[in-house]
Chain A
Amino acid sequence: MSAITADLVPQQDVTYGRSPAVHFVTDVWVLTKRSLARIRREPETLADVTIQPVLFILMFAYVFGGAIGLPGHGSYHEYLIGGMLGMGLAQTAPGVATALVTDMSTGVIDRFRSLPMSRWAVLVARSFSELMTQLIATAVVVCVGLAIGWRVHTNAPDVIAALALALLFGYAFTWAGVCLGMTLRSPEAAQQTGFLIFLPLTFISSAFVPTQGMPGWLQPVAEWNPMSALAAACRHLFGNPNPAASIHAWPMQHPELAVVCWAVGMLVVFAPLAVHLYRRKALG
């Protein structure tokens, strides 16, 4: 190909010439395996998405729960799990930001960019490996929930729909984490900023307490918070107590549709933004 130097690589050893789609899939696969390998070698990196939700469930179920009265007198333990699913998923976002900032600052991304690989495979692979983490977090919440007396009162398709909605939301939220990672310089900053965004997002919602008890000015914020929609959708689909059903705000009346809208909206905004930021950051 080049008149100057013969290409040194043995031709039977390379995959040049295959379609860009095949290359993209291969690169995403190789890089996803890379992220998952870390989890296998150091399972303690999963502490923030496994141990932390367990602690939150136990604290809310047994410490705060007794003081939280549900409108309509349902079981708080059954109420809690729908909210905890969202929290468990949102919690992974600071992690994805931290991982990307680390790759940026150690030169790993530079190395990838000097290779003849697909440009965006790095981000897509990170979002996939995060989805695996979220599956694990979801399984943990479900198991601990069952242990503290949470039960499902609907059928399998509804339960599958609830978990699918939660993971769709979680996947879309990951791209917000990717954007965060692209705008920060140090892994520590990613960790802290992620926490500062994540904390109000989960607490000013119906994840842990019904919004009816909040001051009037705060209620609309909580009702339109995507975490509330996700919690309401899960409670509805699980057949758990769902006091939000009596609230007139649109997302509380149509929680499943609201979650899909939020998820699609976040994907449409954050995925291209992440790619744009990656490009800009990468090219200096």
Chain B
Amino acid sequence: MSETPAIAAEGLVRNYGKTKALTGFDLAVPPGTVYGLLGPNGAGKTTAVRVFATLLRPDGGRAQVLGYDVATQAGEVRRRIGLTGQYAALDEYLTGRANLVMIGQLSRLTPGAARRRADEMLERFDLTEAATRAVKTYSGGMRRRLDLAASLIGYPSVLFLDEPTTGLDPNARAKTWDIVRGLAAEGTTLLLTTQYLEEADQLAERVAVIDGGRVIAEGTPDQLKASVGGAHLDVVLAAGSDLEAAIVAIKPYATGSVQPDDAGLRLSVPVAASEGLTTLVVRALDVAGVRVNDVTIQRASLDDVFLALTGHPSSEDDDTEGSDAA
């Protein structure tokens, strides 16, 4: 982690009139990572992405992409980034292919290279058949795929995905996730904003939780989950007569009191989640001669993290229309 971050921010401040969108936003994304910005509507996610993508000037603080300052070296930044916003930013009246060729040429590819790259992207995103149709005939999922393709035309090293699956059906969402994983495997640095906890959990190696225009927690999804309440160990016994022995065997791993249920067959105990915990518990129970039917560890979800950190639940069901920038 000693290398220069691919995306970095120090004390970013940005206001829209009286609205404080960013209030001292810090971030460091290592190269080649999928990094999630998680937060409710209005938390400042989109504003942060717009600053990194050189679309907004920060009122204070500094932001760098691949070591280039977004305010003073915007040209260098733009050569190396791709941006996919909340809305598919495409020309409705052009064909899918014409859109990609246009973006390619505007990304400074030669006309020949732009055409080759466009065909390559159409193939990759399963749009070859629709390539000669106007974009306005495309479904929502196809538009997002074309939009993603457009943001990749110029061979970006850093890709910004602003709520890439908002408004998509589960099928299209799963497809987008596959694409993101594929890009990550190729080594592209991805910064992804999402309101969906599940999405951050599925895709991101590291997550920053955003609230009120700044980062309130940062880490891997597992670290974040471990930071709130750890996990729960549930043991289901084969015979009630083993209850005492089971409690003694589990005790060393518990971080609170052991609670048997009324029938004396199920034990539930808070534990600190750690690697190989299940194995250790099973082994301890075996040594004590306890026969068990089931041992499970329930990790805290990012939902729990969110609630614990912000005091309010994530607004997953909020409207998807509003942008943070408003």
Contacts and interface: CB of A to CB of B under 8 A. Distances in A.
Interface residues of A, number: 39
Contacts of B102: 30-31, 33-34
B76 to A, nearest CB: 8
Contacts of A282: 55
B109 A37 contact: no
B54 A38 contact: no
Nearest to A38: B93
A106 B89 contact: yes
Given A2-B67, A9-B155, A41-B93, A30 B105 contact: yes
A34 B105 contact: no
Interface stretch (A57-65, A111-119, A142-150, A223-231): A111-119
Given A114-B53, A283-B57, A23 B31 contact: no
Given A27-B106, A41-B134, A114 B67 contact: no
Contact of A114 (B3, B55, B105): B55
B106 A30 contact: yes
Contacts of B113: 10, 12-14
A3 B67 contact: yes
Interface string B76-120: 101111110111111111100010001101111110110001000
B34 interface: no
Nearest to B105: A30
A171 to B, nearest CB: 23
A185 to B, nearest CB: 12
A4 interface: yes
Interface in A7-34: 7-10, 12-16, 23, 26-27, 30-31, 33-34
Contacts of A13: 109-110, 112-113, 117
B147 to A, nearest CB: 8
Nearest to A6: B157
Contacts of B80: 2, 5, 7
A284 interface: yes
Interface string B18-31: 00000000000001
Interface string A228-248: 000000000000000000000
Contacts of B79: 7, 16, 116
A115 B106 contact: yes
Nearest to A15: B108
A30 B134 CA distance: 18
A47 to B, nearest CB: 15
A14 B110 CA distance: 6
A5 B53 contact: no
Nearest to B109: A13
A113 B83 CA distance: 10
Interface in A110-143: 110-117
Contacts of B85: 107, 110-111
Contacts of A31: 102, 106
B157 A14 contact: no
Contacts of A8: 155-157
Nearest to A102: B92
A41 B110 CA distance: 25
Which residue among A42, A108, A112, A116 has the maximum number of chain B CB atoms within 10 Å of its CB? Answer: A116
A8 B106 CA distance: 17
B169 to A, nearest CB: 21
Closest 8 CB pairs of A and B: A13-B113, A107-B89, A9-B155, A111-B89, A8-B155, A38-B93, A116-B78, A5-B157
Given A5-B31, A31-B106, A114-B78, 11 more contacts: A7-B157, A14-B109, A15-B109, A30-B102, A31-B102, A34-B102, A110-B89, A111-B150, A111-B151, A283-B56, A283-B57
21 contacts: A1-B76, A2-B68, A2-B80, A4-B4, A10-B113, A14-B108, A16-B108, A34-B98, A38-B91, A41-B93, A106-B89, A107-B88, A107-B89, A110-B55, A110-B85, A111-B150, A113-B54, A114-B53, A115-B78, A115-B107, A282-B55
